[in-house]
């Protein structure tokens, strides 16, 4: 019997629906047995029956790991930064030690294609493999003291070498760094992962983590991060769509080119009757203007029209 593909997620309660959609997209496009590992500090197992049903319907396995608040003693928290921002760093230590490798995915994603090519990457002594974040412009490297020759990885899609992670006590190293750094970490565990593991990482093509910035940034800036062919593939034919940024496909004003993919898989869940919230006449007009002008141009016009804060 073929071993399952181990895939992990870490969510809070606000993302249960979106996690279900991501799962369905993964299962629908991959004829494999998966073992889904879900990490959260906000659920009881009894609240996850629908997720269990989804995994069972696709002949896969499901394990839930309840994280305790005491695991995060000393971590910086605020209204914006929650415990869920740090869940990822505990995963390789909490799963069964017989699991050598794990694919970690965020829950604001659509898995559009077969992931066997990604899963079968040989990692050797490499600890994490991921896709560069195009929207950093080198500032995060400077802030964290990472050499410019190393690309800053977006933590939404990570292939984790759990054997090497455990051998090098990476969870403990990350915890110590996070506690010591406090509010200096703008991007929470993603900053920590990049700082601690930049010499032990493998860069993957952007088709495995198509981030929303590829539709928002100037092409010349994107080509500083990605090669031409791999950028074109990520834009036109991605394997994994990652709805990064504050605007998500379940928001009325969102105009993501692959927005319909979210609703395609939402239709296959118990949340299929989801409707947009607080759709006012003002929002309808705003969306129409965004379609006509483009999001960036619309935002520039709005910022010019707003009164200046200068004295």
| Same domain, residue pair 190 and 296 | no
| Same domain, residue pair 287 and 147 | no
- Give the per-residue pLDDT at 71: 80
Q: What is the extent of the structural domain holding 301?
A: 278-311
Q: Is the pLDDT of residue 76 over 70?
A: yes
Q: Please state, in angstroms and as integers, the Cα–Cα distance from residue 205 to each residue in 109, 124, 235, 286, following that order.
A: 17, 18, 12, 35
Q: Are strands 128-132 and 153-161 parallel, antiparallel or unpaired?
A: antiparallel
Q: Are 51 and 23 in contact (CB under 8 A)?
A: yes
| Same domain, residue pair 75 and 130 | yes
Buried b / exposed e across 146-161, counting CB within 10 Å, b at 16+? beeeebbbbbbbbbbb
| Same domain, residue pair 115 and 83 | yes
| Same domain, residue pair 168 and 300 | no
Q: Could you tell me which residue, 71 or 61, shows the higher pLDDT?
A: 61
- Give the per-residue pLDDT at 307: 62
Q: Rounded to a whole number, what is the largest CA-CA distance in the chain?
A: 71
> Hey, CA dihedral for 268, 274, 280, 281, is it positive or negative?
positive
| Same domain, residue pair 202 and 283 | no
- Give the per-residue pLDDT at 202: 97
| Same domain, residue pair 53 and 14 | yes
Q: Is the pLDDT of residue 7 over 50?
A: yes
Q: How confident is the model at residue 305 (pLDDT cuts 50, 70, 90)?
A: low
Q: Could you tell me which residue, 47 or 212, shows the higher pLDDT?
A: 212
| Same domain, residue pair 262 and 301 | no
| Same domain, residue pair 228 and 266 | yes
Q: Is the pLDDT of residue 184 over 70?
A: yes
Q: Could you tell me which residue, 147 or 69, shows the higher pLDDT?
A: 147
Q: What is the CATH number of the domain that holds 25?
A: 3.90.550.10
| Same domain, residue pair 260 and 308 | no
Query: How do residues 126-152 score in pLDDT, each as one tens digit?
Result: 999 999 999 877 888 999 999 989 999
Half-sphere exposure of 253 (CA within 13 A, CB side): 18
| Same domain, residue pair 285 and 190 | no
Question: Taking residues 276-292, what's their average pLDDT?
Answer: 83
- Give the per-residue pLDDT at 308: 56
| Same domain, residue pair 189 and 209 | yes
- Give the per-residue pLDDT at 41: 86
Q: Is the pLDDT of residue 255 over 90?
A: no
Mean pLDDT, rounded, of the chain: 91
Domain count, the chain: 2
Query: How do residues 149-173 score in pLDDT, each as one tens digit?
Result: 999 999 999 999 999 999 999 999 9
Q: How far apart are CA 22 and CA 112, in angstroms?
A: 10
Q: Is the pLDDT of residue 1 over 60?
A: no
């Amino acid at each position: 019997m073929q071993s399952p593909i181990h895939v992990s997620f870490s969510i809070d309660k606000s993302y249960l629906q979106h996690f279900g959609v991501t799962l369905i997209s993964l299962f629908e496009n991959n004829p494999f047995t998966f073992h889904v590992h879900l990490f959260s500090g906000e659920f009881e197992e009894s609240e996850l029956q629908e997720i269990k049903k989804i995994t069972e319907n696709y002949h896969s396995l499901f394990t839930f790991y309840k994280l305790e608040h005491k695991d995060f003693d000393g971590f910086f928290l605020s209204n914006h930064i929650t415990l869920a921002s740090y869940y990822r760093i505990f995963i390789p230590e909490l799963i069964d030690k017989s699991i050598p490798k794990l694919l970690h995915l965020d829950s604001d994603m659509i898995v559009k294609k077969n992931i066997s090519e990604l899963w079968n990457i040989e990692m050797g002594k490499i600890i994490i493999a991921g896709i560069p974040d195009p929207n950093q412009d080198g500032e995060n490297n400077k802030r964290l003291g990472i050499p410019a020759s190393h690309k800053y990885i977006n933590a939404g899609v990570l292939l984790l070498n759990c054997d090497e992670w455990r051998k090098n006590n990476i969870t403990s190293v990350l915890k110590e760094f996070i506690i010591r750094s406090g509010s200096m970490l703008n991007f929470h565990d993603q900053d920590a992962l990049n700082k601690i593991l930049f010499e032990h990482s493998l860069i993957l093509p952007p088709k495995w983590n198509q981030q929303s910035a590829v539709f928002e940034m100037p092409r010349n800036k994107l080509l500083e991060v990605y090669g031409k062919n791999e950028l074109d593939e990520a834009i036109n034919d991605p394997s994994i769509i990652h709805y990064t940024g504050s605007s998500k496909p379940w928001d009325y004003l969102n105009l993501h080119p692959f927005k319909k993919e979210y609703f395609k898989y939402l239709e296959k869940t118990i949340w299929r009757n989801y409707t947009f919230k607080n759709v006012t006449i003002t929002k309808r007009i705003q969306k129409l203007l965004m379609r006509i002008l483009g999001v960036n141009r619309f935002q520039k016009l709005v910022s010019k029209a707003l009164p200046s804060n200068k004295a």
